[in-house]
Amino acid sequence: MSSKFKGKSADRPDITRAALDPEPSTVHSKMDLVSKTLFAPFNNKKKDTSRILTDLAPVIMTPRMMNAAATVSSRSRGSLGASASGGSRLDFATLGRAPMRLTLGSRRITSRDLQIVEATDELLDAEIPEAEGIASDVSLLRGFNATVPSSEKNRTRRKQMRNVETPRIGLKKLGMSARGMMMEDEEERSIASEEDVVVVSRLDERGKRKGKRRGRESLSAAKALGKDELRRQTQEILLDKENLHVRRSLINSEIVEINNKIKALDSIRERLEQDLLKLHEDELELDDELGGVQERIEFEEAAFRQSDNIKTAPVPHVAPSRRRRGPVFLPSEHDELPPGVAFMTLESHLTPITALDFSEPYGTLVSASQEDSQPRLWDLMTGSEIGRLRGHRGAVKCIQVEDNLCLTGAEDGSVRLWDLRLVDEDDWERDSLADVAEEDEGTAYDGELVEKPNGIRSSEPSEAGTADQTGPCIRLFEGHSKAVTALYFEDECLVTGASDKTLRQWDLATGQCVMTMDILWAISHPQPTIPGNGIPNHLFPSAVASAGHFAVPTPPSADGSWDMYEDFVGGVQFWGYGLVSGSGDGAVRMWDMRTGQAHRTLMGHTSPVTCLQFDEMHIASGSLDKSIRIWDVRTGGTFETLKYDHAVTALQFDTRKVIAATGENGVKIYNRTSMQHSSLSTNGHTQPVERIRYMDRYLVSGGRDAAVKIWTL
pLDDT in tens, 77-136: 444 444 444 444 444 444 444 444 444 455 565 656 666 666 667 766 776 655 554 455
Q: What pLDDT is recorded for position 488?
A: 95
Which candidate, 673, 679, 546, 562, places its Cα nearest to that of 279? 673
Answer whether residue 198 shows pLDDT above 60: no
Torsional sign, CA 678, 684, 687, 691: negative
Q: What is the pLDDT of residues 653-705, one digit of tens each?
A: 998 999 999 999 999 999 998 899 999 999 999 999 999 999 989 999 999 99
- Identify which of 145, 127, 125, 129 has the alpha carbon closest to the alpha carbon of residue 250: 145
Q: In angstroms, rounded to a whole number, what is the distance separating the alpha carbons of residues 202 and 371?
A: 118
Q: What is the pTM of this model?
A: 0.64
Task: Say yes or no to pLDDT of 489 above 90.
Answer: yes
> What is residue 241's three-state secondary structure?
helix
Picking from 610, 554, 605, 604, the residue whose alpha carbon sits closest to that of residue 582 is 610
> Which carries the bigger pLDDT value, residue 7 or residue 340?
340
Residue 150 and residue 171 in contact, taking contact as beta carbons nearer than 8 Å = no
Return the closest-CA partner of residue 693 out of 275, 367, 269: 367
Mean of the per-residue pLDDT values for the chain? 75
Q: Which of 62-71, 443-452, 669-678 has the lowest mean pLDDT?
A: 443-452
When pLDDT is cut at 50, 70 and 90, the band that residue 240 belongs to is confident
User: Could you give the C-alpha distances from 389 to 278, 427, 660, 710, in angstroms and in order?
Assistant: 44, 11, 27, 21
User: Contact 510/477 with Cβ under 8 angstroms?
Assistant: no
39 vs 671: which has the higher pLDDT: 671
DSSP 8-state class, residue 670: E
What per-residue confidence (pLDDT) applies to 158?
A: 78
Q: Rounded to 5 degrees, what are φ and ψ at 644?
A: -130, 175
Identify the CA nearest to 583 among candidates 662, 523, 658, 647. Answer: 523
Q: How confident is the model at residue 177 (pLDDT cuts 50, 70, 90)?
A: confident
Picking from 348, 343, 368, the residue whose alpha carbon sits closest to that of residue 358 is 368
Mean pLDDT of 172-180: 81
